[in-house]
Structure 1
Amino acid sequence: MLKGLLTKVLVFGVICGLSSAHGAQERTASLAGQLASTEQHLGSVWLFIIAWLLCFIIFLLRRIKSLKHEVRRLIDTISKQQKKLTNLTQINSHTRLYKFRYGEQRINDEVAYCLRQNASDQGPIKDEVILFYIILDKSEQLREGYGKHRYMLCQQQFATLLQASFRHTDIISHWQDEEFVVLTRGLKRQQACHLAQRLQHGIQDYSFDCDKGPSLHLTCSQAYIPFPLSLPAEEFDWQQLLLLAKSLAISISYQQAGHWFGLTTATLPTGLSQYQQVLTAISEKQLDYDTSLSTIATIDILLD
């Protein structure tokens, strides 16, 4: 009796164990299926994320390229506007040369640099600029005889001739009406005569076109002075030196039109005011100079 009961219990335990094992297998299979489904779902999500990121990167690259083009366009526009503004403030619209104010500013800057370079009073001049004062001769007769329009055409052509005669680094300013000022750097005072001669020969060979009228042959008168004229450099005022160059150019224009005169001296007598000092030294032939004037005696006439 007891033996039979134990047998039944054992059989029931085995059956339950088998049932539990079968259930566990089913649960395991179910979990495996769920995991596979989850992995498949996650794989799809990652693929979607990667695809979205790729699309976003492509969009960003295209947008960056578009923005670069836009930035370049804006830079070009700003550069053009700045150039127009520069032309309005610095360039004479008629002759396409620098305006008086800009030329004056550049001379101030270059003179300040020269003063720093020549701070010591000892030794030779270390740095200098040459100031040319140039006058288109007989401008009043030209304007009255041929009219303002043809006179302005001659001015434009003379401005072009100035640009061709001087170096591209030189500052050429339309000072006033028929008067022009050129600032040169990197040129020794003994070499300045070559530029004066080049302009003189250039205008001699040039025929000015007067718009359906007869061609004209004009001349210009020049005077140039270096800054500083001598040491100590701070004793010199470039405006006074330019005024002296103007006086010389006007005298040449009235009395010996078509010629040039330039100072090359580096020493001055003492005891006189600057402007009168140089005038007196020139008249007494105490200074070195270069000139296209035929006789030295003509210098006395220039200072009358």
Structure 2
Amino acid sequence: MRLHNWWTIFKILVLYYVLSGSAWAQNASSLVDLMSPAGYQTYREVVQLQRNGNLDIAQAMASELLTNARENGDFTDEAAAQRLIGLVATQRHQYDLAEQALTQAEAYFQSIDEYLLLAQLNADLGTLKRIQGRHATALSRFYNALSMFTAFEDSEGIAAQKSNIGQVLEQMGQFDEALEAYSEALEVQRQHNDQHGIMGTLFNMAEIYRELDQLDFALTYFNDALAQAKQLNILATIADCYTSIGMVHRAQQNYAQAQQAFLDAIALYEQLNLQRDADWARTGLGESLVGLGKIERGVSMLQNVLTRAQARANVSLTTETRLALTRVYIDQQNWSAAIEQAEVGLQEVIQRAEGKRQSQFEDLRVTIFANTEQYQRAYEALKNQRAIEETILLQRREAALTKLQSDIEYVRQEQNIALLRKNKAMELSLAEQRNVRNVTLLASLIILLLLCFLLFSRHSHKLRNQQLAGIVKRRTRELEDKNEELQQAYRTLEHMSLRDALTGCYNRHYLDANLPAEINRSLHSYRAAKELGRKPPEQNSLLGFLIDIDDFKTINDTYGHVTGDKVLVQFAKIIAHVFRHSDLQVRWGGEEFLVICRNTLRSDAPDLAERLRSAVAEANFKTQTGAVFKATCSIGFTAFPLDQSDAARTTWEQSFQLADHCLYSAKISGKNCWIGVLSATTTDETDTLSETDTLSENERNIDLGRLSVVTSLNHLSAINWHTDI
């Protein structure tokens, strides 16, 4: 290397250490350093008004600040005013105006290399994209902001971005990752006593628990956020907390408490002139009124909200109100009104490709069609719902990839910032080099030092090469570890998609994927035996046990939902003990379980049912406090195929409906018992004699022929058959 090159490098290094601190100080300014005193005072007032929800006054003052800045030619005040306009427009759902204003502010601060302010603008634009549902873009913006705040060691900004990232991950369905991000944000906020940040993070964590249906946790966090908001006197957030608390109480069927929370929220929203938010609260209030028996008033309120939402083109509120009306009409058994709202709402969300809402509407349609005996349409709606849920599952997997890509982009952004620092230091060093030429006294000293530096640099160069090799090796290992973590995440996600999270039993997804093959196997063996003239292969029958915990709602009301969850877990363990590992053990829904036994003689079904009934009756269930209580269950079961001589005469759906019929009959026959049908046959007697002479009323209602009924009751005549089938 030539001497003058070393000379240049040495001067750059000297100037870097002397000037780098001041260089980056110039790029870490805040608005108080750049704005005019009067402009900054107005800016602070508008920010406070916007935080408190006084949007009309905030918007007017921001527009006035923009006008004054343009008249005075003050570009910094103009950019600050644009940011304020963007923030208010975002809160008012005026997304085009918000993006235009925030982008203009970002362009100005980028032109003067003010990276701290650029970090804040990235966060503002990320919030806008998150509200619009553009998750990948929002994550990119928040990670950009996080890397900048990290570079400047701005703890408040770091915490805010972690909280923002948590909100995006929550909307993408990545609840565990979202809670982790919120926890990191909350730790930083508590260290720095950031009361505003703590309030927002608690509220966001509560929303996740509500989404996961962990309502007690959600209510605790919402109340904590409400206490913070009241202490800070932020009216808009207080109203939001009341709305969310009302939703939790409504889900818990605490309608009186829900009504009061919604009324408090509406009063604050109207005080702040936030009519759209007030209508969100009225939607929950309408359902709560119906729950309290004030049906006409509740339905009228929901219909009025729907009319206003359609007039304002508020598609989200329109959809939410249609869902509420559909649920209310179903509870009132007003099937025509219910299906009208469900069909219109379904078409609206299909046009907007809102998978979660589609699934909710399809679930309501299944209930409506099943209750109006439109079983084919109910089956089609159920298939649509399953397809939508599978699509949502795939989207969550894609969301995990998006999160990984954002993490990689965050690392790349940190490297870019480091490069910017280096470039800025180089530019300042080169500028100073022109002045050093005139310092002749310093030149002689530098020449002497340069000789020592030459030897040292060669040694440093060798060490640096070794360090780079180590870094490359370490990065490669980290990438391999990340890849393994991603594969493990895929495996975990697949397991979660097939198992019930609480009990560990299989869920309906697993049953839908595996049951058709078992049905076909059984039918094939019966058809083959019939063609070969052999006896029916009874060992290839399927036994379906539909099991329900008696008085489970009373258990929840008496001991609480935590104890109810513990009962479900212990009940699943009893089922696993009674039945074989190879049997399909499925949580059918709520407190209902379904067990499909393969390769089992149908004559063994009564013994299995009695073993399960007695095992549950003898078990000791414990409350959250350790107290012991007893519980019982009711069981209905059938064998498939019902007619062994003509296996194709009946379907699995008929067998399942018959098991459900037996379960309901067991319930109304005193509970803690089992009723089953081992076969259904047509005989010469039923062909030659009238049905009135040969068949019971229950058999005529079911219309499957002669039924072979067994029960744990004293006599078949003790069965109180369910008449609605």
Q: Report the TM-score when normalising by structure 2.
A: 0.29
Partner residue in 1 for 2:722: 303
Partner residue in 2 for 1:244: 658
Pick the aligned partner of 2:567 from 146, 154, 168: 154
Whether 1:99 aligns to 2:507 is yes
Pick the aligned partner of 2:603 from 173, 180, 190: 190
Pick the aligned partner of 2:667 from 222, 232, 253: 253
Pick the aligned partner of 1:128 from 512, 516, 541: 541
Shift of residue 137 of structure 1? 0.8
Whether 1:142 aligns to 2:561 is no
Partner residue in 1 for 2:522: 114
8 Å Cα contact 1:103/1:172 also seen in 2: no
Task: Specify which structure has the higher proportion of strand.
Answer: 1
Distance in 2 (CA, whole Å) between partners of 1:252 and 1:94 is: 26
8 Å Cα contact 1:129/1:184 also seen in 2: yes
Question: Taking every aligned residue pair, what percent have the same amino acid on both sides?
Answer: 24
8 Å Cα contact 1:283/1:303 also seen in 2: no
Q: State the structure with more CA Rg.
A: 1
Whether 1:291 aligns to 2:699 is no
Distance in 1 (CA, whole Å) between partners of 2:487 and 2:605 is: 36
Partner residue in 2 for 1:57: none
- C-alpha deviations, 1:45-104, integer Å up to 9, x for none? xxxxxxxxxxxxxxxxxxxxxxxxxxxx99997985564233211100111000022123
Give the root-mean-square deviation of aligned CA atoms: 3.1
8 Å Cα contact 2:545/2:636 also seen in 1: yes
Residues 1:75 and 1:148: Cα distance change in structure 2 (over 3 Å): same
With 113-122 and 262-271 compared, the bigger mean Cα shift is at: 262-271
Q: Which runs of 5+ in 2 are unaligned?
A: 1-480
Distance in 1 (CA, whole Å) between partners of 2:663 and 2:618 is: 21
Whether 1:176 aligns to 2:584 is no
Partner amino acid, structure 1, of 2:678? T
The secondary structure found in structure 1 opposite 2:520 is helix
Shift of residue 218 of structure 1? 0.4
The secondary structure found in structure 1 opposite 2:621 is coil
Higher relative contact order (CA 8 A, sep 6+): 1
- C-alpha deviations, 1:166-190, integer Å up to 9, x for none? 1111110000111111000111110
Q: Which runs of 5+ in 1 are unaligned?
A: 1-72
Residues 1:79 and 1:283: Cα distance change in structure 2 (over 3 Å): same
Task: Specify which structure has the higher proportion of helix.
Answer: 2
With 164-173 and 106-115 compared, the bigger mean Cα shift is at: 106-115
8 Å Cα contact 1:111/1:238 also seen in 2: yes
Distance in 2 (CA, whole Å) between partners of 1:165 and 1:75 is: 41
Partner amino acid, structure 1, of 2:536? I
Partner residue in 2 for 1:89: 497
Q: Report the TM-score when normalising by structure 1.
A: 0.66
8 Å Cα contact 2:668/2:722 also seen in 1: no
8 Å Cα contact 2:699/2:707 also seen in 1: no
The secondary structure found in structure 1 opposite 2:513 is helix
Whether 1:204 aligns to 2:624 is no
